Amino acid sequence: MPLIYRAALRPGWWVALWVLLAAAWFGQPLLSGASFEHGFFGLFWYTMLALATLLWALPSEQGWDGSQFYRRWRLLGFITLFKRHYPPARFRRILLEQESHLFGRDSLWLVLDGEARLVFGHWRASAGGHAHARALAAALAAATGLPFAEPGDQAG
């Protein structure tokens, strides 16, 4: 049974597109100035926006295809451009790690831990995020045979 975590096409992914479009609109005055400074900052602004748009347009997704883990990068979430495989023997356990934030909700990460580490998914550390993460971790543990270490069992 394939298990997939994808960030593309989720609401936050579309919000990021609107933020990029707003930043492009906001930077228009940098292009209209005749001074060197305007041209330099305009070039810098739109180069950074082009980089951010490239990163937005190539989201990654992680999955289990029944025999091995994979991470693939897809153009706009649809066309696979690059895929990397990870054998399950490289991992010892499945972890949920919570990262504290000074402002806003914490982040919750689903991590495959072993000789290598693979971040399989991430959520906001809300009740719903914990429920989704635990459900996916339990499904991965059942499908792969890797033990699922509960958040208090992360030693070792």
36-57 and 11-26 are packed helices; what angle lies between their axes, rounded to 10 degrees? 170
Name 87's bridge partners: none
The answer on 97 and 46 residing in a single domain is no
Q: Is residue 109 part of a domain?
A: yes
pTM: 0.77
Reported as a single tens digit per residue, the pLDDT across 81-137 is 999 999 999 999 999 988 888 787 888 999 999 888 999 998 888 889 899 999 999
The answer on 138 and 97 residing in a single domain is yes
Q: What is the DSSP string of 88-133?
A: GGGEEEEEEEEE--SSSPPEEEEEEEESS-EEEEEEESSHHHHHHH
Which of 151, 145, 131, 124 lies closest to 64 in space, CA to CA? 145
Q: Is residue 74 part of a domain?
A: no
For the chain, what is the domain count?
A: 2
Reported as a single tens digit per residue, the pLDDT across 31-52 is 777 777 777 888 899 999 999 9
Q: Is residue 2 part of a domain?
A: no
Q: Is residue 27 part of a domain?
A: yes
Task: Give the per-residue SS3 of 65-82.
Answer: CCCCEEEEEEECCCEEEE
Sign of CA dihedral 19, 25, 31, 33: negative
Reported as a single tens digit per residue, the pLDDT across 49-72 is 999 999 999 999 999 988 899 999
With beta carbons less than 8 A apart as the criterion, state whether 109 and 125 touch: no
Q: Which amino acid is at 52?
A: A
Give the domain extent around 40.
12-57
Q: Is residue 79 part of a domain?
A: no
